[in-house]
């Protein structure tokens, strides 16, 4: 996959996770700074959707295009971030 193809795929996944969050009527909880696509904002939305119970770990892997070990590392990182900074759900 070329970098351009990967970027287009991730942008498509951003739209998908945004639709998932909107379907749960939780979009208003997403900070305005995260409304536009970037890899960081995609990760933030996926984290929000995961901890909100809107997607499972398979959804995390699919939306972020990562393997299981990387998804586990992200989960550890996310729990640490939530402990330190709180989350959008709080």
| Each residue's pLDDT tens digit, 2-47 | 999 999 999 999 999 999 999 999 999 999 999 999 999 999 999 9
Q: What was the pLDDT predicted at 87?
A: 73
State how far the Cα of 76 lies from the Cα of 78, in Å rounded to an integer.
Answer: 5
Confirm whether pTM is higher than 0.85: yes
Q: What is the pLDDT of residues 40-78, one digit of tens each?
A: 999 999 999 999 999 999 999 999 999 999 999 999 999
Say which residue the tokens 């945004």 belong to. Answer: 18
Where along the chain do its domains lie? 3-85
| Tokens representing residue 60 in the block | 């995390």
Q: Tell me the percentage of the chain whose pLDDT exceeds 90.
A: 90
State how far the Cα of 55 lies from the Cα of 73, in Å rounded to an integer.
Answer: 17
């Amino acid at each position: 996959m070329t970098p351009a193809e990967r970027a287009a795929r991730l942008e498509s996944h951003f739209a998908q996770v945004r639709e998932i969050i909107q379907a749960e009527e939780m979009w208003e909880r997403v900070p305005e700074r995260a409304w536009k696509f970037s890899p960081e904002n995609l990760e933030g939305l996926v984290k929000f959707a995961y901890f909100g119970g809107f997607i499972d770990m398979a959804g995390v892997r699919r939306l972020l295009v990562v393997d299981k070990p990387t998804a586990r590392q992200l989960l550890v990182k996310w729990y640490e971030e939530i402990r330190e900074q709180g989350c959008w759900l709080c």
